[in-house]
Structure 1
Amino acid sequence: MSVVTGSPPGHIISDGGVEPWMACVTDALGDEIEFNYFPAGQLVALRELQSGLENGIANAVPIPVGYASDRLPLNNVSMLPGLGTSAQQIIGSYSRLIREDEAIAAEFAEINAVPIWAMGFPPYQIISTGPAMRTLADFSGRVIRSAGGTMTLSIEALGAAPAEVTVADLYVSMERGVVDSTISGLQSVKPYNLQEIMRSVSTNGAFGTFTNVFAINADFWAELPENVQTVMSDCGLAIEQSIAARMDAESGSLAQEFAALGIDVFEFDADAAAEINGRLAQVLDGWVERLEGRGLPARAVLDHYQAIMAGQ
């Protein structure tokens, strides 16, 4: 079974998700399953993971939802700002949405994918090579890297200019001033060495998140014995719990580590947070309007997701 990722070694998606999932499955099944593992874009580049899975180049990949927004538009609900305060809440809610919502399930069926486990970062923060962006006015005119999808809408709502830059090019783009900031999870800073060039980072923002769904090609899945499918699904649920707990625990320690490097680690004050979050709230309505205009049930999906999240 070929398992392909696009993330660098040591990234949370790999060493907190894909690799322990394979270990869990192997522990349960022994010689009944064998993995051929191609990490870090060796076989398929990060932005091509979804198409690589659909076309059968890979049997299993973590689909970056933000990079597949053209094929998974409704799934981008999981990346909207202001929804969820922790990885545990975000992952738990998105996992339930995937399992319960017919429109979400239909998107995965359309790309010939069977979702096994979901992953979402704690709420994204603003990371900058310049001074701390402490107020809404500080965002005006800034060029902020976007991973696409709902993140672009969030950046525009804040009065900044989004620039779609691949994560592989992010360090160079920030170093050269092509972009001066990025919205990212703290867990993604060190794998891309951003701590070397960033000067400030927020800790209490609610700028959305980035989600991935580890999925298996549906044709390959259909050929697996039922006991293997059960083990893979059970291991997926276990990974959701462990990766969420790990990321939430790491958020505080990473902030302390960055502060020790002389980086300005800051919190938005109550007034600034209210003003920023007010702007970001507009993104939800804009997202719904845009997708409803394409005939997609965005309002129903958002309502379902928010209802699940309220019960988490």
Structure 2
Amino acid sequence: MIRFSWKTAALAGLAITFAGAEVMAATTWNASLWGKRRAFTEHMEKLSELVAQKSNGEFQIKLHYGAALSKNRENLDGISIGAFEMAQFCAGYHRDKNPTITVLELPFLGVTTLEQEIKLSNAVYSHPATQKDLARWNAKLLMPSPMPQYNVAGTGAAPTSLADFDGMRIRATGGIGQAFKTVGAVPTSVTSSEAYNALESGVVDSVAFAPHAHLAFRTVDIAKWWTTNLNPGTVNCPIVANIDSFEALSDENKEILMSSIPEALDHYLAKYGEVYDKWGPVLEENGVQKIDFPQAEIDAFRESAATPAREAWIKDMEAKGVPAQELYDLVVKTLNE
């Protein structure tokens, strides 16, 4: 016969208490980022803060920088297998993995503000073809990382006309790389984290980045010149969640997460505005020559790059079963609105 003592009962009660505590434990998500904290990641910082506040610490998003969880080119793969619950990536890093959102990286779309970039991204992210595309990687699109138009910082002789880009090795991904290719440049897809070393060692002659990235990855520290007004386009870098992890959230935590996104993006916009307060003085301090291209040169660049890139993209994507024309028309419609 089994005899129960107060010790047995106490241990049983303790086990039940621990089991209950385990069930009620906080939900913790890991988010894979790269580089360090910067304007490009401020919406993630704010989202993490808001989620923790609204849930009283019961739902937390831990941010992992420096590619601690995964390399930036492999974040989508990590999401697909559930290695982590949330990640940031850029479409241009692997166009074949996310063909639908590469429409947002076409050159000279005519986007002029970060607010427009957010609306445009959300429109494309909401399209059924885009959601189906990313679902192949078990990824749910949550929000963009809106960035301004890219410009180029480089070493060596400063370009003053499009002809000067002929033969120039330039770090440029996606549609921006294709745009520079039309004027004879040689684009490479060096990652942002590798850009400084590539420029310093002469692997590339120039780097196309938005201002925050030139600051964060220190290319502005060794650049001799900077193009102020080429504005060929930008890259699109979504924040995604693992679909299974999202579906496993309680209804309350889903609401907390999704309702925090607008405020996180507002915070991002405010922080990005501070980048421009720093940018001018840093250029001045480092003695970086500002190159203003004549409007005729910019118009010629647009003419050589925009239409051919768009037509080639639509033809290529339609052949792969992507409703490319429909997605491009959505971009135009959204911008016109």
User: Is the TM-score greater than 0.5?
Assistant: yes
Q: Does 1:102 align with 2:128?
A: yes
Alignment counterpart, residue 10 of structure 1, candidates 24, 30, 37: 37
Alignment counterpart, residue 91 of structure 1, candidates 118, 124, 148: 118
- CA positional deviation for 1:256: 4.0
Is the Cα contact below 8 Å between 2:98 and 2:134 reproduced in 1?
A: yes
Report 1 or 2 for greater relative contact order, CA contacts < 8 Å, sequence distance ≥ 6: 1
TM-score when normalising by structure 2: 0.86
- CA positional deviation for 1:310: 1.9
C-alpha separation in 1, matches of 2:305 and 2:113: 18
User: For residues 224-303 of structure 1, what are the structure 2 equivalents within 5 Å?
Assistant: 224-248=249-273, 250-251=275-276, 253-281=278-306, 282-303=308-329
SS of 1:34 mapped into structure 2: strand
SS of 2:67 mapped into structure 1: coil
- CA positional deviation for 1:52: 0.4
Q: Does 1:306 align with 2:327?
A: no
- CA positional deviation for 1:253: 4.2
User: For residues 1-312 of structure 1, what are the structure 2 equivalents within 5 Å?
Assistant: 1-14=28-41, 16-83=42-109, 84-99=111-126, 101-147=127-173, 149-248=174-273, 250-251=275-276, 253-281=278-306, 282-311=308-337
C-alpha separation in 1, matches of 2:291 and 2:278: 14
C-alpha separation in 2, matches of 1:263 and 1:209: 22
Q: Percent identity?
A: 21
- CA positional deviation for 1:264: 0.9
1:163-206 deviations in Å (ceiling 9; x for gaps) = 22222221111111111011110110121111221011122222
Structure 1 stretch 276-285 or stretch 214-223: which is displaced more?
276-285
Mind listing any 5+ residue stretches in structure 1 that lack a counterpart? none
Is the Cα contact below 8 Å between 2:46 and 2:267 reproduced in 1?
A: no
Is the Cα contact below 8 Å between 2:158 and 2:225 reproduced in 1?
A: yes
C-alpha separation in 1, matches of 2:322 and 2:286: 46
- CA positional deviation for 1:120: 2.4
Is the Cα contact below 8 Å between 1:255 and 1:265 reproduced in 2?
A: no
Runs of 4+ off more than 6 Å? none
C-alpha separation in 1, matches of 2:105 and 2:269: 16
TM-score when normalising by structure 1: 0.92
> Does the C-alpha gap of structure 1 residues 306 and 137 become closer, same or farther in structure 2, counting only changes over 3 Å?
same
1:61-117 deviations in Å (ceiling 9; x for gaps) = 113222232111110111121121122211221123212x12112112221111111
Is the Cα contact below 8 Å between 1:116 and 1:232 reproduced in 2?
A: no
One-letter code of the match for 2:171?
A: R
Structure 1 stretch 104-113 or stretch 247-256: which is displaced more?
247-256
